[in-house]
Structure 1
Amino acid sequence: MTTTKAISSFLAMLAAERGAAANTLAAYRRDLEGAEEIIGDLVEADPAALGGLGAAWSDLAPSSLARKCSALRQFYAFLQDEGWRKDDPSPALPRPRTRRPLPRLLGHAEVDALFRQAEEEAAGDRPDAVRLLALLELLYGSGLRATELVSLPLAAVPRDAPFLHVTGKGGQQRMVPVSTRARQVLSRWLALRPQGGKLLFPSRGEKGHLTRVRLFQMLRELAGRAGIAPDKVSPHVLRHAFATHLLEGGADLRVLQTLLGHADIATTQIYTHVDSARLVALVNSRHPLAAHRSGD
């Protein structure tokens, strides 16, 4: 796998799964190709080579350095997801102190509108509509990554236990809960799904599973039909909504980390920004000093 082909595949994933804009994709390409000019083949680069980028980029502003390092971290995570690398050398990259950008979010009303539209379309048991509803249930109801979702094998869906067996980044396996309503929709989809094969969401007319590109397209089309700006919706945004709304409901951050399949709790902590009002109210009502009035 050449660096040029790997970068092109990575950018295609960003466009399909996250809805990255053309300017964003161009910036990622510049950052990755710029790193390649310094250290050579990115696909084969070792931690020592990535560590040397700190010196090469020492004159950059912290925000610029953070952007370049973020591009490389996401690139190496992608290489691992695709099986093109077994290791991740990106921890050797410099870590500038900058605020991490907040994820795009969907409100409860927008999520409800998506589900109403999907449920109306699936009412007649049209296979493509039921499939879309099942995909939506698992994105928002279980917080799966797009890659994890589209590549689910049939064996991941247990007959009795309300859990899915998911293989995430780096081949790490975890179990994620599946709601009763999601299990009901999955049962409907299994009854309509084309016979044969070992994949839960097979592609049409060719071997393999539904692609991330097609999943992204279907969600944006659904958003448009539901009266929501299509550029607000993507598989990644629905995963963020899953995490945000669970945290709002009182979920423990460590539990959320497990559900999302994050190796580092710091990755999960990005979601704590959404619930500052609830946290303040919690301190005011539950802290031992809350029972004592000021001046007592």
Structure 2
Amino acid sequence: MFEVNDTARLMNDLEVVISTLFLDVDRRKLVIRLEEVLSNYEIQRKTETDIEGDLQEKIDMYLSARQIEGMSDKTLEGYKLELKLFSEKIDKPIVQINTADIRKYLASNSSWMISTVDKKLSALKSFFAWMVEEELLLRNPAAKIKPPKKPKRLPKGLSIEEMEIVRDSCKDQRERALIEVLYSTGCRLSEIANIKTTDINLHEMKIHVIGKGDKERTVYLSIKSMHQLRKYLNSRNDECEYLFVTERKPYRKMSNRNIQRIIDKIEQRSNISKKITPHTFRHTFGTLAMENGADLADVQKLLGHEDPSTTLVYAHVSEERKKQAHKRFHVQ
């Protein structure tokens, strides 16, 4: 009988792994060959103390690799935080982490919203998938966990009438230009904040923007937005390279928070029932584009969505549109 020592444990572990990978392996021959090979080595099993900190070490490796690959700073910080929280809860060597451990962690806080759980799972799936790709793990313990079902909520854009009320609530040229550019282009808040005057082509009524993942795209201006934008640019007397700048010297780029404050003030003046944020104008753009018959693929490109399913939230059909369709196509 083979002595139960560290060498025997290693041989047993190898036998299990190889038998799992190759179902038709002759286990008797495998044991003989493993005994022959391992007899040439002195083997000492690591203690639990030896492998403490293993998970955090692998997380640091993962984050460094993703940084080199060009992952955005925002995504990198988000993953760093989520993986740090996970490592603080799971007191195990990484090779011992299983699917049940991850499920237990995701269910550990009943106050977490579905979107929070989804974000945590996304970070864990990415991390463990990378570990398998790098051959640091044999399998991904997060692979079988399905993302939580999100409630289907239609994005709340503004109606044409509400958009006119918002326009009337602007008090100066900067506010008018900001509202029109947000509405006409469907840009994200960060994209608007980072537009430079050199990115704008008023003659061709388009703007070059940098979106999520440092991806470039072209967005377009309406006649109304181009008119308000030209008036705003002509009213400025500064040398700041950014499109939307602060009111007081030294003139500088407006931060995301600055822009949000302006939208908050316009919302208060407008006194409409809907909450207005910079993203509201993006929703309005997407919804009205689909309402007016725009192709889904075109709206996807204009909004800079990588996944077509993200754009599908705008593909709902309004009651009025359904009513008109029924009148046109109903067989009498």
TM-score, normalised with respect to structure 1 = 0.65
The one-letter code sitting in structure 2 at the alignment partner of 1:218 is: I
Q: Could you tell me which of 56, 76, 86 is aligned with 1:38?
A: 86
- 3-state DSSP of counterpart to 1:232: coil
> Within the alignment, does 1:216 sit opposite 2:250 as a pair?
no
> Within the alignment, does 1:104 sit opposite 2:156 as a pair?
yes
> Within the alignment, does 1:249 sit opposite 2:292 as a pair?
yes
Query: Are the structure 2 counterparts of residues 276 and 33 from structure 1 closer, same or farther at C-alpha, using a change threshold of 3 Å?
Result: farther
1:196 shift after superposition: 0.9
What do residues 5-45 of structure 1 show as CA deviations (whole Å, max 9, x unaligned)? xxxx98xxxxxxxxxxxxxxxxxx9xx9776432369xxxx
> Within the alignment, does 1:228 sit opposite 2:272 as a pair?
yes
1:105 shift after superposition: 2.9
Query: Are the structure 2 counterparts of residues 274 and 146 from structure 1 closer, same or farther at C-alpha, using a change threshold of 3 Å?
Result: farther
User: What runs of 5+ residues in structure 1 fail to find an aligned partner?
Assistant: 1-8, 11-28, 42-48, 76-90, 122-128
Distance 2:191 2:111 in 1: 31
1:131-280 matches, within 5 Å, as 131-203=174-246, 204-206=248-250, 208-229=252-273, 232-275=275-318, 278=321
Query: Are the structure 2 counterparts of residues 110 and 55 from structure 1 closer, same or farther at C-alpha, using a change threshold of 3 Å?
Result: same
**Which residue number corresponds to residue 114 of structure 1?**
166
- 3-state DSSP of counterpart to 1:95: coil
Q: Which has the larger radius of gyration?
A: 2
User: Is the contact between residue 106 and residue 120 of structure 2 (CA under 8 Å) also seen in structure 1?
Assistant: no
What do residues 143-192 of structure 1 show as CA deviations (whole Å, max 9, x unaligned)? 11111111101111114211111111111111111011111111111111
Query: Are the structure 2 counterparts of residues 283 and 58 from structure 1 closer, same or farther at C-alpha, using a change threshold of 3 Å?
Result: farther
Distance 2:87 2:323 in 1: 47
The one-letter code sitting in structure 1 at the alignment partner of 2:269 is: R
User: Is the contact between residue 69 and residue 94 of structure 1 (CA under 8 Å) also seen in structure 2?
Assistant: no
1:108 shift after superposition: 2.3
Larger relative contact order, structure 1 or 2 (CA cutoff 8 Å, min sep 6): 1
Distance 2:313 2:233 in 1: 36
Distance 2:316 2:310 in 1: 12
Distance 2:237 2:111 in 1: 49
Query: What's the RMSD between the two structures over aligned residues?
Result: 3.9
Distance 2:184 2:174 in 1: 15
1:202 shift after superposition: 2.3
Query: Are the structure 2 counterparts of residues 72 and 146 from structure 1 closer, same or farther at C-alpha, using a change threshold of 3 Å?
Result: farther
1:66 shift after superposition: 3.3
TM-score, normalised with respect to structure 2 = 0.58
User: Is the contact between residue 57 and residue 65 of structure 1 (CA under 8 Å) also seen in structure 2?
Assistant: no
Query: Are the structure 2 counterparts of residues 58 and 38 from structure 1 closer, same or farther at C-alpha, using a change threshold of 3 Å?
Result: closer
The one-letter code sitting in structure 2 at the alignment partner of 1:222 is: I
User: Is the contact between residue 106 and residue 117 of structure 2 (CA under 8 Å) also seen in structure 1?
Assistant: no
1:113 shift after superposition: 0.4
Query: Are the structure 2 counterparts of residues 254 and 59 from structure 1 closer, same or farther at C-alpha, using a change threshold of 3 Å?
Result: same
Q: Could you tell me which of 68, 75, 99 is aligned with 2:116?
A: 68
Count of matched residue positions in the alignment of Structure 1 and Structure 2:
231
The one-letter code sitting in structure 1 at the alignment partner of 2:236 is: R
Distance 1:285 1:53 in 2: 56
Distance 1:54 1:277 in 2: 46
Q: As a proportion of its length, which structure holds more helix?
A: 1
- 3-state DSSP of counterpart to 2:219: strand
User: Is the contact between residue 176 and residue 228 of structure 2 (CA under 8 Å) also seen in structure 1?
Assistant: yes
Query: Are the structure 2 counterparts of residues 226 and 277 from structure 1 closer, same or farther at C-alpha, using a change threshold of 3 Å?
Result: closer
Distance 2:324 2:267 in 1: 34
The one-letter code sitting in structure 2 at the alignment partner of 1:264 is: D
**Which residue number corresponds to residue 21 of structure 2?**
none
User: Is the contact between residue 54 and residue 94 of structure 1 (CA under 8 Å) also seen in structure 2?
Assistant: no
The one-letter code sitting in structure 1 at the alignment partner of 2:289 is: L
Distance 1:283 1:60 in 2: 49
Distance 1:175 1:53 in 2: 45
- 3-state DSSP of counterpart to 1:185: helix
1:248 shift after superposition: 1.3
Query: Are the structure 2 counterparts of residues 246 and 74 from structure 1 closer, same or farther at C-alpha, using a change threshold of 3 Å?
Result: farther
